[in-house]
Structure 1
């Protein structure tokens, strides 16, 4: 299984970007193919080499494969909407940050650094024909308690992982259209400023 088998969505990019970025997307259904330990270690290794402020590397990943206790423990803390489709994923993860620096100060960049870890992981995954879908819908405090993280840690995101190519008919009908609809992003002039910030009206 590799990226040649990845179902592509229309990405109406306005400027040239590399295919790994253009073609990556976040499905809610996945092929019925296990993600091996070797594959997961490649994803984690890609994340490991992400940049971080002062090289503090404040990220932590909890993971479980479908059928395992860790998977069910993660699933139990997703909101109901995410549970409805994440059950399709062969692997579930939690992205957790240490909100303190090694000397105990607030690390205001930790969430940004976890984002870089996850972006690296997503691009590595896409190159292997694997998709990841990040979720904000998690009971953060309950998940932190479940996995026994100390107070200074924060469960920032959940992540579903699996190979592209799932059958959209395995989703609720109201979610099926999102699997084939074109990708949408704001235009650059809505968020890029060569100087002072100027408020833009939402489209």
Structure 2
């Protein structure tokens, strides 16, 4: 790994050893000028394709657009104003959606979980390719759903920005620069795992 690549890594204070593809993954708001091709995207989608899902129903649906395309602009138009401020430099935008019902028309309680597994698999493949994945809750799901013609039994969940790690920090506002430089943190494993009954760790911390 060269010096430039090292500069793109964020320190991840893990307590147990994990794979570098997971440890070094993070969600930047700036991206290198390196383009992402349709072939690159197909590698990412192929990784997501093999995610596990309930009864192998594969409820995920992905709308994608490369910067400069009409689809990119249509996705962009449904992002929150906060996300529009920084995502303008992203080479690719995605919308993630899922089918809420089973083939029999019943509620598929696990569909959102399965979409998450698709994106997780895609994110690991992206990390392997030096591509950053930044998921966004700030999207108008109902307007995006209508814009792209999804039937009633579908729900738009998130938007996703894709781009190679890199880019100029000066492209960001001062507040976002601080967030980009901030140290990473997560709850300890003991906070969310239980060998027995659930315990509200937040209550114990008071």
Could you tell me the TM-score, scaled by structure 2's length? 0.94
1:13-162 aligned within 5 A: 13-162=14-163
* Distance in 2 between residues matched to 1:201 and 1:37, nearest whole Å: 45
1:122 aligned counterpart, secondary structure: helix
Aligned to 2:183: 182
Quick check: 1:10–1:181 contact (8 Å CA) kept in 2?
no
- 1:86 offset after TM fit, Å? 0.9
Quick check: 1:99–1:154 contact (8 Å CA) kept in 2?
yes
Q: What 5-or-longer segments of structure 2 have no aligned partner? A: none
- 1:195 offset after TM fit, Å? 0.5
Aligned to 2:5: 5
- 1:13 offset after TM fit, Å? 0.3
Quick check: 1:65–1:92 contact (8 Å CA) kept in 2?
yes
Equivalent pairs, count: 201
Deviations 1:78-107 (A, max 9, x none): 000011111110000000000001110100
* Distance in 1 between residues matched to 2:100 and 2:116, nearest whole Å: 14
* Distance in 2 between residues matched to 1:14 and 1:118, nearest whole Å: 25
1:201 aligned counterpart, secondary structure: helix
Task: Let me know the Cα RMSD of the aligned residues.
Answer: 1.4
Poorly superposed stretches of 4+, deviation over 4 Å: none
Deviations 1:126-166 (A, max 9, x none): 01100010000110000000000001100001000000011
Could you tell me the TM-score, scaled by structure 1's length? 0.96
Quick check: 1:29–1:89 contact (8 Å CA) kept in 2?
yes
- 1:180 offset after TM fit, Å? 2.4
1:97 aligned counterpart, secondary structure: strand
Quick check: 1:27–1:164 contact (8 Å CA) kept in 2?
yes
